[in-house]
Chain A
Amino acid sequence: MTRELLEGSAAIAAAAITAGCRFFAGYPMSPFTGLLESMSRELPAAGGVCVNAESEIEGVNMVLGAAAAGARAATGSCGQGIALMQETIAEAALNQTPFVVFNMARNQQDYFQCTRGGGWGDYRTITLAPKDVTEAVAHTQLSFHLAELYRAPVILYGDPLIAQTRVSVTVAPQDHGPLPERDWVLDGTGGGTGRSRQVWTWAMGKATDPGPGPDRHWRAVADKFDAIAATEARFEQAHVEDAETVVVAFGTAALFVEYVVEQLRAEGHRIGWFRPVTLWPFPGDALAAATTGARRVLVFELNAGQMLDDVRIHAADRSAVRFIGGVSIAESGLAYGDLMDAPAIRDRILAALTGGASA
Chain B
Amino acid sequence: MDPVLNSGDTAWMLISTALVMIMTVPGVALFYGGLTKKANVLNTMFMSLIAFSIASIIWVLYGYQFAFGEDMLMGIIGNPANLLFSGIGVDQLSTLATTIPETVFIAFQMTFAAITVALISGAVVERMKVSSWMVFIAAWVSLVYVPIAHWVWGGGFLAQLGALDFAGGTVVHINSGVAALALILLLGKRKDTKLLPHQLGYSVLGAALLWFGWFGFNAGSALTAGGLAGSAFIATNTAAAAAMISWVIIDYLKTGKPTVLGAISGAIAGLVAITPAAGFVTVQAAVIIGLVTSVVSYLSISYLKPKLGYDDALDVFGIHGMSGLWGALATGLFAAPFINELGTGLFYGNPGQLLTQVIAVVVVAGYSFVATLIIGKVIDMVMGLRVEDKEEIEGLDINLHEETGYRI
Do the two chains belong together in a single complex?
Answer: no
Instruction: Tell me the B residues contacting A by CB distance below 8 Å.
Output: none
Instruction: Tell me the A residues contacting B by CB distance below 8 Å.
Output: none
